[in-house]
């Protein structure tokens, strides 16, 4: 669901860019929904979105699950955008967030039905992530990870070692990422560069994203990914 969010606070142009970038990222929400539908029905689930950023999957999870979602991220500007979304969509009773590092999570053990991590396991690495996050899941709870394809088979071999069953897997091809994300993002970068050529802070942000696109073109594994659904044994 696309939403128009007010731009406030520091780094207004960057916020404006990130909000429009979010709309592009929402093109991939169909795969978040598809992954969620592979889970068994859980009434009013408690969900932890690890590395929530501006909350694109966070908001989608709240809307499709009917449960409550806690996001955690250490970027205050991203969380400011997420708070605006929560307010605009009147989801204050469903969605909350905590500003914290993924490396120092201190949630109560066995407190979540579902842990959701889209693009955040790189912070600690796949192995350390599934090992450390295990304790936050209720018995037979679910861990859903969206990660790049690099060493995919090696990653999946670790699942049983750390106490999970592999329930399902979805693949997002290079073509999906290029057509649904990178091409429209590159057009957005071009528009902002042409409109605001003298804003140095914005230019740095645009160049960073353009570099990611360029690297993806050179390495198809950076532009393909998989979603894996694991269940705690």
- pLDDT tens for 27-83 read 999 999 999 999 999 999 999 999 999 999 999 999 999 999 999 999 998 999 999
Which pLDDT score, from 0 to 100, does residue 221 have? 64
In this structure, are residues 19 and 88 in contact, taking their beta carbons and an 8 Å threshold? no
Report if residue 184 sits inside a domain: no
Which pLDDT score, from 0 to 100, does residue 201 have? 93
Mean pLDDT of the chain, nearest integer: 93
Question: How many of the other CB atoms lie within 10 Å of CB of 177?
Answer: 21
Report if residue 207 sits inside a domain: no
Report if residue 213 sits inside a domain: no
Domain count, the chain: 1
Report if residue 47 sits inside a domain: yes
Report if residue 197 sits inside a domain: no
DSSP 158-208: TTGGGTEEEEEEEEE-HHHHIIIIIHHHHHHHHHHHHH-TT-HHHHHHHHH
- pLDDT over threshold 90, residue 222: no
Range of the structural domain that residue 63 is part of: 12-175+219-232
Q: Quick check: helix, strand or coil at residue 41?
A: coil
Report if residue 205 sits inside a domain: no
Report if residue 20 sits inside a domain: yes
- pLDDT tens for 174-217 read 999 999 999 999 999 999 999 999 999 999 999 999 999 998 88
Which token pair is 105? 């999570």
Which pLDDT score, from 0 to 100, does residue 11 have? 54
- Percent share of the chain, pLDDT over 90: 88
CATH of the domain at 19: 3.40.50.150
Report if residue 122 sits inside a domain: yes
């Amino acid at each position: 669901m696309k939403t128009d969010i007010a731009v406030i606070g520091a780094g207004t142009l960057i916020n404006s860019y990130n909000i429009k970038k979010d709309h592009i990222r929402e093109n991939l929400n169909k795969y978040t929904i598809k992954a969620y539908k592979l889970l068994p029905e859980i009434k009013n689930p408690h969900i932890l979105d690890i590395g929530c950023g501006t909350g694109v999957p966070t908001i989608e999870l709240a809307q499709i699950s009917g449960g409550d979602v806690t996001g955690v991220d250490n970027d205050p500007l991203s969380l400011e955008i997420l708070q605006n979304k929560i307010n605009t969509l009147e989801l204050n009773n469903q969605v909350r967030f905590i500003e914290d590092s993924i490396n120092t999570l201190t949630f109560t053990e066995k407190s979540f039905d579902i842990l959701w991590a889209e693009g955040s396991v790189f912070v600690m690495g796949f192995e350390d992530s599934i090992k450390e996050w295990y304790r936050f899941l209720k018995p037979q709870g679910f861990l859903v990870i969206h990660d790049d394809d690099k060493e995919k088979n090696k990653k999946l071999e670790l699942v049983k070692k750390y106490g999970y069953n592999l329930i399902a897997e979805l693949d997002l091809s290079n073509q999906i990422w290029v057509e649904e994300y990178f091409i429209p993002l590159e057009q957005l970068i071009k528009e902002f560069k042409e409109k605001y050529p003298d804003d140095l802070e914005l230019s740095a942000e645009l160049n960073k994203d353009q570099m990611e696109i360029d690297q993806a073109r050179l390495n198809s594994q950076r532009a393909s990914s998989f979603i894996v659904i694991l269940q705690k044994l």
